[in-house]
Structure 1
Amino acid sequence: MNLQILGFKGNIASVSDTLNYINSIKKDSEVIQLLNADAVAGRRHVEHGVNQAFLSFERDENLANDLSVEICLRCSAQRQISKAFNLLGLKEGQMNLCAILIDCDDYTSQLSSQFTLDDSVLLPDVDILKEVYDIGEDELEIVDVEDILIDRISRLVVDY
């Protein structure tokens, strides 16, 4: 698997138009997933979520039928799609974006025509992440925020 994680700043005028644009530039075998970078705790967080999404399909433990949706679920450490989209989904207006490209050609220039490349948006804002993921100060005294979210993703299991 070839994985690229890019940060962007941009204005989402229309979520559906943005998704249509993403779908128009990628090939069928490629995955481009955009997430709310404000709810991302760094590259390892995203890499772990992507890895767990792939493993969930291999183990037939996936919660979603679509890999992009499964990536959103895993990165958010949620079982419910609506909660995952609420945390990590696109919203209209100014956004910091995390672009996940899997087995893709280099779409940096196409994405940069819509958004401004800025990998600094992938750096964790602990105050935002504490609120988004309900992380307590006691947890942060022991482990950093990225490791807390990686642990939550790892513990995400399917209830049968």
Structure 2
Amino acid sequence: MDNIQIFGFKATINSVGETLDLIDGFKKDGGIIQLLNADAVVSRNHIIHGVNQAFLAFERGENLAKDISVEIVLRCSAQRQISKAFKILGLAEGEMNLCAVLINSDDHLDDLSEIFTPDDSVLMADEDKIKKIYGIDDDVMPLEDLIIDRITRLTVDY
């Protein structure tokens, strides 16, 4: 996996299905565009680690999902169950903050910027919100380290 780019956007999602269909229309070059709920993103490192773990899982035959995009959501959410992963990082109708992950997909930032409002500030973690989303009630280590550890343990505990 050569090129991971992460961007923040503010969006109004009228239909999750229509939004995903629109994004799928951009992916003619074999790249991946994965949209995540930015409110559940601790940092760019969190997402890069999750994406790397997803690709490694496929390489080792330890993937939990059949589709790499779903595997990315599973790994980045540190969950084994798809429904829980999408509850944490999935799209929802209405106003939302998006984390767009572009993998080997350089030329689609402009496409995304036409339908969403670019705003990297949505990638600044709200620690209280993150703790609630992930069910964290202690401060034994920095949140980024804790989430990255949980992602890593998905593989180790496999």
Question: CA deviation digits over 1:1-33, x for unaligned, max 9?
Answer: 111101000100100110010011112511000
The letter of the residue matching 1:117 is P
Give the secondary-structure state (helix, strand or coil) at the position aligned to 1:65.
coil
Match of 2:20 in 1: 19
Shift of 1:136: 1.4
Where does 1:38-77 land on structure 2 (aligned, <5 Å)?
A: 38-77=39-78
Shift of 1:105: 2.9
Match of 2:132 in 1: 131
The letter of the residue matching 1:3 is I
Distance (Å, rounded) in 1 between the aligned partners of 2:41 and 2:111: 23
Q: Could you tell me which of 126, 149, 153 is aligned with 1:151?
A: 149
Shift of 1:144: 1.1
Contact 2:29–2:105 (8 Å) recurs in 1:
no
For structure 2, the 5+ residue unaligned runs are none
The letter of the residue matching 1:13 is N
Give the secondary-structure state (helix, strand or coil) at the position aligned to 1:8.
strand
What is the RMSD of the two structures over their aligned residues, measured on CA atoms? 1.3
Give the secondary-structure state (helix, strand or coil) at the position aligned to 2:154.
coil
Residue 6 in structure 1 maps to residue 4 in structure 2: no
**Where in structure 1 do 4 or more consecutive aligned residues deviate above 4 Å?**
none
Q: What TM-score, normalized by structure 2, do the two folds share?
A: 0.95
For structure 1, the 5+ residue unaligned runs are none
Give the secondary-structure state (helix, strand or coil) at the position aligned to 1:79.
coil
Q: What TM-score, normalized by structure 1, do the two folds share?
A: 0.94
Count how many residue pairs are aligned between Structure 1 and Structure 2.
157
Distance (Å, rounded) in 2 between the aligned partners of 1:39 and 1:70: 16
